[in-house]
Amino acid sequence: NFNMSKFIHHQGRVQGFSQVEEIALDSNKLTALPGDVFQTSKEIEIMYLNGNQITLLNGTLFWGLEKLASLYLNANKLTHIKG
């Protein structure tokens, strides 16, 4: 059973997903995401981050994701989005 939360914590970036158009990290108990975690995933169009425990999003998280059209953040604990 692949645990994306542990993968991101230990690896720091999502590697090898350069052609992925949709990424679902919903309900993974994530509390934060590194600002460059999706740096190599330029094709993402839909991102599910809902149902986690994220309190802060770094604005650099979405840099280079020009095709991102839908972002789901509901059911988190967001208090800040850094610029």
Whole-model pTM: value is 0.78
In this predicted structure, what is the pLDDT of residue 10?
46
CA 40, CA 15: separation in Å to the nearest integer? 7
Q: Are 53 and 76 in contact (CB under 8 A)?
A: yes
pLDDT tens digits for 13-41? 555 567 788 989 899 899 988 888 888 78
Q: Are 45 and 23 in contact (CB under 8 A)?
A: no
